[in-house]
Amino acid sequence: MLGIIGGSGVYNIEGLENTRWVKAESSFGEPSDEVLIGELNGQSIAFLPRHGRGHKLSPTDINFRANIAALKRVGVTDIVSVSAVGSLREHLHPGDVVLPAQLVDFTKKRVDTFVGPGLVGHAGCAADYWIHPNVLGQMQEMNAQGIRILRMPYTVAGKTYKAIRFQTEDATSYNARVYDLETGLLIYHGSRVQGAPVYTPPIGGSGTAGVGQGSTQLVTGWIAEIKDFDLPWKDAPPPRTGGAACGRP
């Protein structure tokens, strides 16, 4: 089931059918509100307003651990968390949807982890460099404005991989990551921002390169050869959806 956490101003979902509000228990205390369960275009949805209906909770008072636990209790396996935020970039306008790659949480005076006394856990730091092959295998190809997900053969250092490419771009910047579908390892990362002319690797990883005017490209990772090592995690099971977790939804 897909879970949706609504931010400021989002206290319901239009078009949701066969709805019911469910009070979900949590070992972390009370969640922000009851969980709204229904269907949207045939997809089962569980919705939880982060601040509660009527916006009763400030960010400091939100029990995010209870919110996640409550969604899991009703059967949620994946979560989309929506926030209403401002922008300091001129090309991002009101109504635009942005998918952040990283998040810095400045919320103060609240617990910021699921682990603690009696429960020890460690947050993984490999997310930018490794994604479990089972997760990559579930990714759907996409070709929309500003974002592309594409499966392709990708050649690096004379070796060709079955790979998947994630690419985002706008008027001033470009970012691409390519992962090996077999091991889940990052084999290429490139980004570009406005600046000087630059060498630009071809989209397929081989062929004729180009030089783009008015841009600067920084290749931040060429780690394809690490695939040849006997990596202890390459046959690891997919991440568990339950148990100890770390995060700041």
Per-residue pLDDT reduced to its tens digit, 102-147: 677 777 787 877 777 777 777 666 667 788 888 898 888 888 877 8
Residue 223 has pLDDT above 50, yes or no: no
Q: Where are the domains of the chain?
A: 2-81, 133-228
pLDDT of 36:
92
Q: What percent of the chain has pLDDT over 90?
A: 17
Mean pLDDT along residues 10-26: 86
Of residues 173 and 2, more confidence is placed in 2
pLDDT of 130:
83
Identify which of 64, 62, 12, 63 has the alpha carbon closest to the alpha carbon of residue 37. Answer: 12
- Please give the full DSSP string across 72-104, using - where no structure is assigned: HHTT--EEEE------S-TT--TT-----S---
pLDDT of 101:
67
User: Cα dihedral sign for 135, 141, 147, 153?
Assistant: positive
Residue 239 has pLDDT above 90, yes or no: no
Mean pLDDT along residues 87-91: 80
Residue 246 CA to residue 183 CA, distance in Å, equals: 24
In sequence order, the 6+-apart residues with CB closer than 8 A to the CB of 106 are none
C-beta pairs of 115-118 under 8 Å, 24+ apart in sequence: 115/244, 115/246
3-state secondary structure of 140: coil
Beta strand extents in 53-185 (DSSP E only): 78-81, 142-144, 147-156, 159-169, 173-180
Identify which of 38, 168, 45 has the alpha carbon closest to the alpha carbon of residue 100. Answer: 168
Do 222 and 185 contact (CB within 8 A), yes or no? no
Tokens of 166: 């994630």
User: What strand order describes the sheet that includes 159-169?
Assistant: 142-144, 147-156, 159-169, 173-180, 186-194, 215-221
